[in-house]
Amino acid sequence: MERMNLPATKSNLIHLREELDFAREGLDLLDQKKEILINQISFLVSKVDRVRNKVNADLMTAYGHLKEALIEHGESAVESAGLGVRAGENLSIHERSLMGVVLPMVSIELPPVKPQYGLYGTGKAMDDTAGAVHDAMESIAELAELEVGIERVLAELRKTLKRINALSHIYVPMYSATVRRMEETLEEKEREALFQMKRIRGSRKDGML
C-alpha cells in the first residue's frame, strides 16, 4: 500500500491520526448522503413513470382531437384557430435543497378553457383539442419538475460516489498505512532508546564497581 513520505515524528503521527479520523467521518457522512440520494432517485422515478404515462395519454387524446379537426376543417382553419387559444397559465418555480442539491418545485395555475376564436370555421374537435392540451399542461409541468430533479440528483450521486471511491480506495488506506508505519518506526526508536539507556546505566554501574 502506498504511504506518504513524511518523517516519523510524534507531531506528524498526531496530525495524521486526526486526518485519518476526519477522512473516516467524511466517508461515513458520504455513505449516508449516498443512501439518501438513492432513495430520492427511487422516489422520483416511481412518480415520473406515472406522470409520464399520464402526459402521453393526455397528448394522445389531444392529437386524436387535432386529427379530427384537421380532417373536418383543414390545416389553415386549425392554424387560425390555434392563434386564438390562450391558456392564461400562471407558472411559478421555487427551489428546495436536498443534501446540497437544488431541486425545482414547479406549480401552474390554469384558468378554465376559453377559446378566443369565433364559431365560424371551427367546431367541437377544435374545442376538444384545446381542452385536452389544457388538461395536459399541469401534468407536463409536474413531469418537467421530476425529470430535472432526477437529473440533478443523479449528477450529485455520481460526484458522491467518486468521493467515496477516492476516500475508501486511496486516502483512507494511504493514511492508515502511513500511520501504521510511523507507529512501528516510533516504537522501534523507543525500544532502541530504552536499550541504549540500559546500556549506559549498566556501564555506569560497572564503572562504579
Taking every pair of Cα atoms in the chain, the longest distance, rounded to a whole number of angstroms, is 131
Neighbours of 133 (CB within 10 A): 21
- The residue with cell 409536474 is 142
Please give the distance of CA 132 from its chain centroid, rounded to a whole number: 34
- The residue with cell 379537426 is 69
Neighbours of 159 (CB within 10 A): 15
Model pTM greater than 0.75?
no
Give how far Cα 26 sits from Cα of 5, 20, 179, Å: 23, 10, 18
Q: Which three cell numbers stand for residue 105?
A: 418545485
| 20, 173 Cβ separation under 8 angstroms | no
Give how far Cα 115 sits from Cα of 21, 55, 79, 176, Å: 67, 22, 13, 71
Domains of the chain with CATH codes: 18-163 (1.10.287.3240)
Per-residue pLDDT of the chain (209 residues; tens, 9 = 90+): 577 788 888 899 999 999 999 999 999 999 999 999 999 999 999 999 899 999 999 888 888 888 887 777 677 666 665 544 555 677 788 999 998 899 999 888 877 766 655 544 456 777 787 778 878 888 899 999 999 999 999 999 999 999 999 999 999 999 999 999 999 898 888 888 787 777 777 666 655 55
Q: What is the pLDDT of residue 121?
A: 47
Phi, psi of 50 (to 5 degrees): -65, -45
Torsion region of 3: left, alpha or beta (phi above 0 gives left; psi -120 to 50 gives alpha) = beta
Q: Which three cell numbers stand for residue 170?
A: 486511496
| 111, 26 Cβ separation under 8 angstroms | no
